[in-house]
């Protein structure tokens, strides 16, 4: 079941709901290997907790990955950001958005988030 994990909390600096790969796969109705593949391809980010991967629940909607997230990850990776730095930034509260970038992406305000990511990356 979804829950808060120490590994993800340590990375992002606050408690957020997390899913194991199996839970994420069940949520999206895809094989667990598909979620692993999505992480490897940069469509999702996760962290290792012991012998398992976990992903933020906020990265998923009923139909798949939050719109714009894979492109945002690519932009920031291409700009030299590590996955840990990207995770932290996505959950960092920004009063000018308002809220965290992931919240803006989830509420169809992704254009501003992408613009900021592009400015950060280059």
Does 115 map to a domain?
yes
Q: Which domain holds residue 13?
A: 3-59
**Structurally, how many domains does the chain consist of?**
2
Does 91 map to a domain?
yes
Does 23 map to a domain?
yes
Does 8 map to a domain?
yes
Taking only the tens place, the pLDDT of each residue in 82-118 is 999 999 999 999 998 989 999 999 998 899 999 999 9
Looking at residue 15, the DSSP 8-state letter turns out to be -
Does 64 map to a domain?
no
Residues 50 and 8 occupy one common structural domain:
yes
pLDDT: which is higher, 122 or 26: 26
Closest-CA residue to 84 (of 56, 58, 45): 45
pTM for this entry: 0.91
Which ranges of the chain would DSSP assign to H, the alpha helix? 6-12, 21-28, 32-40, 69-78, 83-91, 101-106, 110-121
Residues 76 and 45 occupy one common structural domain:
no
């Amino acid at each position: 079941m979804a829950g808060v994990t120490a590994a993800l909390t340590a990375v992002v600096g606050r408690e957020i709901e997390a899913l194991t790969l199996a839970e994420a796969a069940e949520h999206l109705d895809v094989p667990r290997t598909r979620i692993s593949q999505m992480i490897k391809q940069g469509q999702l980010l996760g962290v290792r907790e012991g012998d398992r991967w976990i992903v933020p629940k906020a990265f998923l909607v009923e139909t798949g990955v939050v719109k714009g997230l894979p492109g945002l990850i690519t932009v920031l990776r291409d700009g030299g950001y590590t996955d840990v730095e990207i995770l932290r930034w996505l959950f960092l509260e920004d009063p000018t958005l308002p809220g965290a970038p992931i919240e803006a992406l989830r509420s169809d305000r992704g254009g501003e988030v992408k613009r900021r990511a592009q400015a950060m990356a280059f």
